[in-house]
Amino acid sequence: MADLALLAAAFGSRLRAEGLPVGPERSARFAAAVALVRPERLMDLYWCGLATLVGDPGEIGLFDHVFGLVFGGLADPSGLGSDQNAPPMRAGAEPAPPAASTVPRAGSRASVAGAQTDDPPPAADHPDLDSPFPALASAAERLGGRDFATLSGDELTRLVAAMRALRLATPPRRSRRYEPGHRGRRIDLRTTLRQAQRSGGYPVRLSRHRLRMRPRRLVVLCDISGSMEPYARALLQLVYCAVAAGGPRTEVFTFATRLTRLTRVLARVPPAVALERAGRAAPDWSGGTRIGEALKAFIDRYGSRGLARGAVVLIISDGWETGDADLLGEQMARLSRLAYRIVWANPRTASPRYEPLVAGMAAAWPYCDTVVSAHSLSAVDELIEALRAR
């Protein structure tokens, strides 16, 4: 296993020297794939490297070149080598390894440095090779660490599958409905009398029930002003995808200079269509920011009537308040008395030098249970944990 780790590290170093962004994580995945597959043919090793070391289709040609230089001249002890003129491997076809090839196993002492040749790797002259493993590297891996503000519309669309795999959860609460429960404190009189008919009217066994547990409502208030526009699109897509894949009841509002309810607008449509509808439904998209007035409108019209009572409230904003900061502090105090938990997602907090010195953020900070950045897909885990915390 030590030799396999050395092989993976040396091969990754050679790829990195040729210009491929291969780091320790990809080399570790390559070693794990080889240990799991235990390839006996060069083509099998080729697919292991292609699936774990290549992060973009444009890198396949360079990977093929380096792979041919490193592994093309090894001997094939298993006798599975084939003619050099054998056709390249296609999807669904049996792989045709190059002549005089072998695959180093875990524990072998094959040297990477001494395995160099001018023979081309499998399908080096076929850049349009169809791989039976289409997922070379997920979009979440390549784009997950990038700031949402740097992603284009197409790149944001590629993250839909990764966002659907996430699950937004909120803490449970007791509802007013009952469900059967052996350890319930209340006796279910109706069920007990019905079962007593089987024993001549004697209640031999007492049936009990308990209050049903259900997740708390999630209320999202998203700032769509000019400074938050790229983050608003990404986080609204995240909320939409995660909730559509199975999550708590969710109410979505946007605000800039006015409050807009988008819950019905985003219902049962693809993410791209949902964002387009959100842009049409919110006329103040990319406008100014009046957080205090928007919170007051939400609490007066929806929150105090029950929508925010006992709910987890997620506010997505950078805290740039163009209105009255004192009004924002008053409304945050009102909201904290209604909501179960307030989570504020501020992308500016990703900087280690950030301090809540802006008037709006300074007024809201004391009433926030948690402040997270959520500036990229890799930073969303902190947001998910904050929403789930009790």
Question: What percent of the chain lies above the pLDDT cut of 70?
Answer: 78
Q: How far, in Å, are 112, 184, 209 from residue 196 at the CA level?
A: 79, 19, 17
Q: What are phi and psi of 344, to 5 degrees?
A: -110, 125
C-alpha 17/C-alpha 67 separation (Å) is 13
Query: Residue 75: pLDDT above 60?
Result: no
Q: Please write the tens of the pLDDT for every residue from 149-162.
A: 888 888 888 888 88
Burial grade of 304 (CB within 10 A; 0-12, 13-18, 19 or more)? middle
Give the confidence band of 246 by pLDDT, cuts at 50, 70, 90: low
Write down the pLDDT at residue 308: 92
Write down the pLDDT at residue 190: 81
Q: Tell me what the pLDDT averaged over the chain comes to.
A: 77
**Residue 108 burial (CB count, 10 A):** 12
Q: Please write the tens of the pLDDT for every residue from 349-362.
A: 988 888 888 888 99
Q: Which two tokens stand for residue 275?
A: 């964002």
In words, the CATH class of domain 161-169+216-388 is: alpha beta
Q: Which two tokens stand for residue 274?
A: 């949902």
Write down the pLDDT at residue 91: 35
C-alpha 88/C-alpha 85 separation (Å) is 9
Min mean pLDDT across 88-97, 174-183, 320-329 is at: 88-97
C-alpha 306/C-alpha 365 separation (Å) is 24
Q: Which residues of 306-336 are buried (b: 16+ CB within 10 A; e: fewer)?
A: ebbeebbbbbbbbbbbbbbbebbbebbebbb
Burial grade of 229 (CB within 10 A; 0-12, 13-18, 19 or more)? middle
Query: Residue 313: pLDDT above 60?
Result: yes
Give the confidence band of 341 by pLDDT, cuts at 50, 70, 90: very high
Write down the pLDDT at residue 93: 38
The residues with which 210 forms a beta bridge, in sequence order, are 179
C-alpha 312/C-alpha 71 separation (Å) is 56
C-alpha 189/C-alpha 139 separation (Å) is 56
Q: What are phi and psi of 51, to 5 degrees?
A: -80, -20
Write down the pLDDT at residue 300: 95
C-alpha 387/C-alpha 171 separation (Å) is 8
Q: Please write the tens of the pLDDT for every residue from 257-281.
A: 889 888 887 776 776 677 777 777 7
Write down the pLDDT at residue 123: 43
Mean per-residue pLDDT for 208-230? 86
Residue 77 near residue 108 (C-beta atoms within 8 A): no
Give me the residue spans of the domains in the chain: 2-137, 161-169+216-388, 177-213
Give the confidence band of 111 by pLDDT, cuts at 50, 70, 90: very low
Write down the pLDDT at residue 349: 92
